[in-house]
Amino acid sequence: MRVPLVVGNWKMNLTLSTSFQLLDEICQSSDQFRGVDVVVCPPFPYLLAANLTIEGTKIGLGAQDVASREGGAYTGQVSAAMLADCGCGYVIVGHSERRRDAAETDALVAQKVEAALSQGLIPIVCVGESSEARTSGKTFEVIGRQLSAMASHLTADVVLAYEPIWAIGTGQTATPEMAEAVHAFIRKQVATTAGENVAEHIRIVYGGSVTAQTAGALFAAPHVDGGLVGGASLKASEFIQIILAAM
Ligand code: PGA
């Protein structure tokens, strides 16, 4: 009932030419992608050209961040309207690298979610615990707090991404059992806050060292609706295998 979603988060990688090689290869395989939504998130300067490349394919376009404000004197920031104008349908919000490097708070993340929704963008909102939080048994507490900050924006138009910080870029993928336990907790929280109907329809994807090898078992978990893929989305053949694993 929930269409699985696989998102490639390119982060600050690739060049203009290597990114288009990668995108071309993904597009060439896109006829095979059935019953799965596929989105790539290139860096800002490549969005407009990427949008031309994916035209006529089933690949969707997303950005990696969005400003919380509508517009004005905010040097270096990019508004939700600008992203929509460039062809984006999605935007990653509150990635742990932004929470860490740009000191994004739960409150700012909620404002960004609101900004994205106001322009018809689907926010992919990242939540997840540090290794210290996990070791001290605080995983659910941390994620519960991150979710409650955006409680008023929890609708079926939002995508949630469970990204344990200790799993991102480390090769230490969460086991399917670990992911399933947290995804089930998140869905329960959504049910409590936004109702059973939203909880049933909202997509919760897993991110953190997803590879072609680990994707199948992770995506088979009942509450895991796809993946947010970093490193493994930079190689066309591996990303395509991950997409096929979600079908
Ligand atoms: P990774 O990154 O797949 O390289 O661990 C995932 C992410 O940060 O979105």
**Residue 236, pLDDT above cutoff 90:** yes
Give 224 Cα–ligand 1 centroid separation in angstroms: 16
Report residue 9 as tokens: 């988060």
Give 97 Cα–ligand 1 centroid separation in angstroms: 10
Where b means 16+ CB within 10 Å and e means fewer, 25-49 reads ebbebbeebeebbbbbbbbeebbee
Question: Quick one: the chain helix, strand, coil %, rounded to 5?
Answer: 50, 15, 35
What is the average pLDDT across 217-224?
98
By percentage, how much of the chain surpasses pLDDT 70?
Answer: 100
What residue owns the CA closest to ligand 1's atom 7?
230
Is the CB–ligand 1 distance for residue 147 below 6 Å?
no
**Residue 20, pLDDT above cutoff 90:** yes
Is the CB–ligand 1 distance for residue 171 below 6 Å?
no
Give 72 Cα–ligand 1 centroid separation in angstroms: 32
pLDDT for the residue 121: 98
Question: Using one digit for the tens of pLDDT, what is the confidence trace for 33-75?
Answer: 999 999 999 999 999 999 999 999 999 999 999 999 999 999 9
pLDDT for the residue 1: 85
Atom number of ligand 1 nearest to Cα 169: 5
Helix (H) or strand (E) holding 6: strand 5-9
State yes or no: is 95 an active-site residue. Answer: yes
What residue owns the CA closest to ligand 1's atom 6?
230
Give 171 Cα–ligand 1 centroid separation in angstroms: 9
Give the 3-state secondary structure of residue 157.
coil
What is the average pLDDT across 125-154?
98
* pTM for the full predicted model: 0.98
Average pLDDT value for the chain: 98
Atom number of ligand 1 nearest to Cα 126: 9
